[in-house]
Structure formats: C-alpha cells, structure tokens
Amino acid sequence: MHILHVVGARPNFMKAAPVLRALGKSPAVEQTLVHTGQHYDGNMSDVFFSQLEIPAPDVNLGVGSGSHARQTAEIMSRFEPIVLERRPDVVLVYGDVNSTVAAALVCAKLGVRVGHVEAGLRSFDWSMPEEINRVVTDRLADFLFTPSEDGDMNLEREGIPAKKIYRVGNVMIDSLVRLLPAATRYQKNGFPERYALVTLHRPSNVDDSQTLKGILESLLEINEKLDVVFPVHPRTRQRVSEFGLKVEKLHILEPLPYIEFLALQCRAVVVITDSGGIQEETTYLGVPCLTLRNNTERPVTVSLGTNIVVGNDGEHLSSELSRIVEGKAKKGTIPPLWDGHAGERIADVLQSLQS
Ligand code: UD1
C-alpha cells in the first residue's frame, strides 16, 4: 500500500510525524512525503523536521507565501502532477491550513482517496480561513480521523456517514508525549523564573492596527507584574513593524523550535495565545491557557482542560490572569485518547484496508 502525506505549514509537522513513524513500522507500506513549501523559513519548517525526526520530504513544491487564492491554486497545480505520477492509494492531509484543503481538492477530482487527520473540528466562525478549510476538507475526505467526540458529532450533524469516521485521539499529543522528556531537560539561561508565554498570529488579531495595538497594550500592562515572553510569528512581526507599534519592553524572541517552545510551555505560569494547537498542548500539560479569540474549534480544552476563551476583551484577560497569578487557576483533565498512540491507531485503520 502506498500512502502519500502532504504537509506545508508549521502545525502540520507535529501531526504528521507520529503517523509517518507508525506506518514506517510496516514493510508492506510505501510512504511518500510532500512538503508544499507554504512555510519555508528554517525556524518555521526545517528545525521541526530535525527535532521530530521526520524524513526529508521526497518532493518540495516550493509554493511560498501569497494571497489565499494564489497560494491554494499554486499548491493545486504543482501537486496534481505528483499525484498522477506517483499514484498513491491514500493521501493523508493534516489539520486546517491552505495546504490541507488544496491537496484534498486535487485528490477528490482525481478519484484518489483522502484521509483527513484532525477531522471534525468546528469553530462555527466562517470568517476564519481555517474553518473554511476544515469544512471543505472533511466534505472531500474518505477517512475522517477525529481527535475527540465533538468532532464525530459535528461530522454526523453535517451528514457524513458514520462509517467514514474514526475517533483515534490527538496526534499532536503523540509528538508532545514523545518529546516531553527532552523539553523537561532543556535549560534556557537568562530567563525570568515566572512568566506568561504569549503567541499571536491570527489575522483577526494581528491584521487590524487597532486590535493589535489593544492586545499589545494589555500585554505591556501584564508585563508590569509578570514577565511576558513572546516568540513572534513572521506575520505578526510584519504587522508590528508596518503599524509602528512598540514591543521592546516584552521578551521578544524569534519563532522557536518545537522542544524549546514545549520547554517554555511546561514552565509557564500561564500561556496566552490565539493558536489552536497550543490550547491542546496546555490542556495536556495542565498549564493555564487564556485564548485570545471569541470561539474555539477545540471545545474539550474548555470543558475538560485548562483553557478559557477570553476574546479580545482586555478586562476579561486581566481578571482571569489575576486569578491564575493568585493560584486560583481552574484545574483540568486530559481528554480521552490523548495518550500518545493516535498515530498508531491511524496506521491500524489504514492497514486494515488492505485485508
Ligand atoms: C498558517 C495557517 C494557520 C496556522 C499558521 C501557523 C492557513 C490559512 N493558515 O498561517 O492556520 O495556524 O500557519 O503558523 O493556512 N511567512 C514567513 N516565513 C514563513 C511563512 C510565512 O515569513 O516560513 C510570512 C509570509 O509573509 C506570509 C505570512 O508569514 O505572508 C503568513 O504566512 P501564511 O502561511 O500565509 O499563513 P500563517 O499566518 O502562517
């Protein structure tokens, strides 16, 4: 059986690594890895391949940045000949980035079966590009691998037949479990003892100058009481400089490699973020998380985990932060099947197709 994996952007890498590893154990499976090149900076891509021990891609489509239409179209036209040439039995796509939907669309038109890893998540916010990518990819996929029960429920509500849905757990947590010992050993010198770790890159938070200014003002205020450590995504860095905003008082860092970032998460007093994956990682780690969005496609991180969705309301952020600093953070539990073995469960499903 020939499985072709498509990755493109930073959050894909930690999701694909465990599936590649699990399928790699079977001599009957041939694997091809395609990198679209959506993310191309060394610290957004290469360093994840080395730390997660992902083999070098067999093909790099080198698409780079662009508008959504352009990036998606470029991936599609460069990916189609690869599928025609290599004729995989199943193509696996991951998460909700433009590379995911572009590859799924190519395969659906060519009649090649698609497996979507991290299916069924919904924010119900159609203004998010990722929500469009999720819904379209799930509609096109033949195998939908969900991380939690809410994913199955969303898919069934949308009329996806139950026989296509496989609840396998959270592949991102597989990578976390594997590299947590290395993160725990990692020492970073010259760092504050207690700090808030911040990440920010959603267009809804960073593309509007007034919204970004408001968030940065809240962070500067927090920084008076608790040091703010902020690895800055390239999109956010561009906007901060375009809008002429001041962030020098915060501990500004370049985007970090996986192990270093995990080490910072484990030891943080609180994580303040608009990322999807970080809401899940903090839930697993039991670290308080305040999410700077009005919704989340990962509701188990709120119902079971440590996550609180605070929107972009500075007062809500500050009151929740005070509770955490006073030691009154809400306690969470780890959702079912977030156990480090989701990749193996996906491999089992795919291998059972052969028999
Ligand atoms: C993408 C995903 C988002 C994910 C995020 C993680 C989509 C729709 N969005 O958003 O879901 O959470 O990745 O990082 O797919 N840039 C660089 N170097 C790079 C990559 C990007 O400088 O290696 C700059 C480019 O100027 C680019 C901008 O960052 O225009 C945004 O990159 P892009 O891939 O379009 O989307 P992200 O905001 O990273």
Q: Which residues line ligand 1 (CB under 6 A)?
A: 9-11, 38-41, 44, 65, 96-98, 129-130, 201, 233-235
Closest ligand 1 atom to Cα of 11: 6
Tens-digit pLDDT profile for residues 265-282: 999 999 999 999 999 999
Closest ligand 1 atom to Cα of 9: 13
Contact 152, 167 (CB under 8 A): yes
Q: What is the pLDDT of residue 338?
A: 98
Contact 8, 79 (CB under 8 A): no
Q: What is the pLDDT of residue 355?
A: 55
Tens-digit pLDDT profile for residues 164-214: 999 999 999 999 999 999 999 998 777 899 999 999 999 999 999 999 999
- For residue 163, the CA-to-ligand 1 centroid distance in Å is 34
Tens-digit pLDDT profile for residues 233-250: 999 999 999 999 999 999
Share of the chain above pLDDT 70, in %: 99
Tens-digit pLDDT profile for residues 66-110: 999 999 999 999 999 999 999 999 999 999 999 999 999 999 999
Task: Mark whether 201 is an active-site residue.
Answer: yes
Handedness of CA 140, 297, 261, 287 (dihedral sign): negative
Mean pLDDT, residues 151-173: 98
Does the structure show a pLDDT above 80 at 324? Answer: yes
The span from the CA of 216 to the CA of 241, in Å, is 13
Closest ligand 1 atom to Cα of 202: 38
Tens-digit pLDDT profile for residues 106-148: 999 999 999 999 999 999 999 999 999 999 999 999 999 999 9
Q: What is the pLDDT of residue 190?
A: 78
- For residue 330, the CA-to-ligand 1 centroid distance in Å is 32
Mean pLDDT, residues 312-324: 91
Q: 314 falls in which pLDDT band (50, 70, 90)? A: confident
Q: Residue 114 burial (CB < 10 Å; 0-12/13-18/19+)?
A: buried
Q: 313 falls in which pLDDT band (50, 70, 90)? A: confident
- For residue 175, the CA-to-ligand 1 centroid distance in Å is 21
Ligand 1 atom 22: residue of nearest CA: 234
What angle, 0 to 180 degrees and rounded to 10, lies between the N-to-C axes of helices 277-285 and 171-185? 60
Q: For all residues of the chain together, what is the average pLDDT?
A: 96
Task: State the catalytic residue, choosing from 35, 39, 201, 233.
Answer: 201
Ligand 1 atom 14: residue of nearest CA: 10
- For residue 293, the CA-to-ligand 1 centroid distance in Å is 18
Closest ligand 1 atom to Cα of 97: 15
Share of the chain above pLDDT 90, in %: 96
Q: What is the pLDDT of residue 261?
A: 97
